[in-house]
């Protein structure tokens, strides 16, 4: 069985999104997000917000998803380059190597453990939703998928990706590729300049030549 992440609620063309949000995106205000997530009286107080995500609360707002995703960078557990101890086993599921129905419960357990350690591993979240779907637990699959798309929308609302100054803000390199995979786009090359990663596409393959991702938060520059 070749397992692929296809659990997309809506088939959306990225160029349509970029066109529609030109005047709507807003780069995250990291200073304000830090203040809000530390304020116990705020709806964005991080421990409460994270607890809602972990129990698959599906009524979170875009602002709450933005505080969850970008607010994670101020938590002690945030390590953008950390490699999970179960990465080899997870890779087998990502690639679908010899995976059968009897492996679904094991996979669910592995991905849940990964998300307990890193609740914003978007690739793992997407695959966990898919595994629940394959395991015929549609209710849980849908809840996880709703939150996956909520976090993806948080990234999409942070910029338009057209230039570095308006790049999509991400808190981990794999998130760049998760976004592209969701829209079935492939990169031709990758480079880094200033505070952005630039993923270039094959010439004339898409309506945009490439996308910029702001990674300045990796280095505490915001």
- Complete DSSP assignment for 65-100: HHHHHHHGGGSTT--TTPPPTTHHHHHHHHHTTT--
For 126, counting Cβ atoms within 10 Å of its Cβ (0-12 exposed, 13-18 middle, 19+ buried), the class is buried
Residue 88 counted as domain residue: yes
Considering the domain boundaries, does residue 129 fall inside one?
Answer: yes
pLDDT at 11: 36
Does the residue 11 lie in any domain? no
Evaluate whether residue 21 is within a structural domain: no
Instruction: Report the pLDDT value the prediction gives residue 5, as an integer from 0 to 100.
Output: 41
Based on the structure, what is the number of domains in the chain? 2
Domain co-membership, 42 together with 114: yes
Q: Do residue 126 and residue 184 come from a single domain? A: no
User: Among residues 144, 138, 141, which one has the least CA distance to residue 56?
Assistant: 144
pLDDT at 26: 93
The predicted model scores a pTM of 0.88
Show the tokens assigned to 87: 């990465």
Task: Report the pLDDT value the prediction gives residue 9, as an integer from 0 to 100.
Answer: 37
* 150 and 192 part of one domain: no
Domain boundary among 136, 156, 176: 156
Q: Which domain range does residue 97 map to?
A: 28-156
**Whether residue 185 is found in the same domain as residue 100:** no
Take residue 134 and report the two structure tokens written for it. Answer: 């394959």
Q: Which residues of the chain have pLDDT under 70?
A: 1-23, 221-222
């Amino acid at each position: 069985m070749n397992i692929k992440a296809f659990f997309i609620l809506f088939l959306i063309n990225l160029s349509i999104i970029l066109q529609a949000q030109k005047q709507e995106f807003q780069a995250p205000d990291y200073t304000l997000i830090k203040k809000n997530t530390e304020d116990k009286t705020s709806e964005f107080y991080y421990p409460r917000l994270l607890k809602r995500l972990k129990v698959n609360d599906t009524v979170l707002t875009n602002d709450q998803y933005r505080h969850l995703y970008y607010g994670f960078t101020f938590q002690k557990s945030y390590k953008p380059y950390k490699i999970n101890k179960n990465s080899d086993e997870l890779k087998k599921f990502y690639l679908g190597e010899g995976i059968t129905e009897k492996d679904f419960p094991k996979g669910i357990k592995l991905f849940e453990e990964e998300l307990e350690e890193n609740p914003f591993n978007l690739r793992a979240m997407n695959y966990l939703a898919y595994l629940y779907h394959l395991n015929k637990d549609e209710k849980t699959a849908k809840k996880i998928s709703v939150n996956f798309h909520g976090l993806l929308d948080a990234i999409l609302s942070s910029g338009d990706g057209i230039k570095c100054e308006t790049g999509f803000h991400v808190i981990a390199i794999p998130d760049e590729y998760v976004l592209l995979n969701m829209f079935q786009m492939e990169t031709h090359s990758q480079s880094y300049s200033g505070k952005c990663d630039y993923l270039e596409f094959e010439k004339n393959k898409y309506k945009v030549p490439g996308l910029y991702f702001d990674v300045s938060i990796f280095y505490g520059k915001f």
